[in-house]
Amino acid sequence: MKKSSKLILVLLVGVLGTVIAFAFGQKAKVPVKSAMQTVQTHLTNMTRTNTDLTRYPRSTAKDGTLATVTSDDWTSGFFPGSLWYMYEYTNDKKWETLAREWTAGLEQEQFNKTTHDLGFMLYCSFGNGYRLTKDPKYRDILIEGSNSLMSRFDERTGAIRSWDFFRDVWQFPVIIDNMMNLEMLYWASKETGNPAYAKVATTHAITTLENHFRPDYSSYHVIDYDTLSGKARAKQTHQGHADASSWARGQAWGLYGFTVAYRETKDDRFLKQAQGIADFFINHKNLPSDKIPYWDFDAPSRPDLPRDASAAAVAASGLLELSGYSGAKGEAYKKAASQMLASLASPAYLAKPNTNNNFVLMHSTGHMPGKSEIDVPINYADYYFIEGMVRLEQMNKEKKAAK
């Protein structure tokens, strides 16, 4: 290549970078209506092409085919939950019918005491269903599921146990993801009048706040507790780049989880924590200009470093709620959330209809160290993207009505 051609190329790249930086420095306009129309098409196609209501769409397999899971998988509640959000958004009874059909197969998981993920599995499905329909059967399932989740709480550690595997490595592992399962317990206390559920949720949140975070508000993925003393004995990762790195989706789980904890308790410690995590996330030097993070904030740079759309979707939805509790800082959180949602709603991440195995978003990363679900669609990315869109639409309507 001639020197003049190289110079032109460098200048073009520079100009493009400036344009992108400027565009995302402004308040992003999120195309909610058109994006949600695409979402409806994907969900419609997914329900038409998958008729086994006991096999829940999760991701794309390595051979390119649709990967589905049974009800006991931690992600089983996200597809039914997405259908419930579509019912809320459209008020079209066909979505309620589909949501009920896909939710029904999860009922047995209310008795599952082998997992900490019952909030994901039951509250995203039955929880949204109960919120929208007040079906008393859903209420009973959620309360029983909350009892099952409570069975994993340990007084000595002050936490809910996460995994039961690798017992030769961990005594009592607790992952940052577990913050997302506390919302169901807070709901159970309000619904039953029994404060025990909320007490466990708040105790777990305080334990997580004290042990999972570094001074800059970044999070470890796994804390292993000593079952005798109850104290933290190891701080590690399982899905991140390294023990000391900041796994992107882990930061998003923490942001969202502590925002919920503040909503339910009004404990300022939780608000400060949520804001600290949010500031770490949105201001990180390694966050790309489109605001969709790489799978780990500290992963070594390379041209094909995978993004994680799911981390952005979770963070965006959490930031929207956090913005309402944060006074003057709230505008910065809403702006960041809007930028993330605008990127996710762009052709770079929002799949065209009849592609992507009928999932909504492209480019999520599930478990990079395990070489699993890398640069593929994943159902929880879709769920939190849809939730974020519904939340943003509601916030905009409320703002318009207040004028």
Question: Looking at 52, 63, 92, 117, which residue is catalytic?
Answer: 117
Question: Looking at 177, 224, 296, 382, which residue is catalytic?
Answer: 177
Q: Which has the closest alpha carbon to 80: 56, 99, 61, 62?
A: 99
Does 52 participate in catalysis according to the annotation? no
| Structure tokens that stand for 213 in this block | 């975070």
Query: What residues are labeled active site?
Result: 117, 177
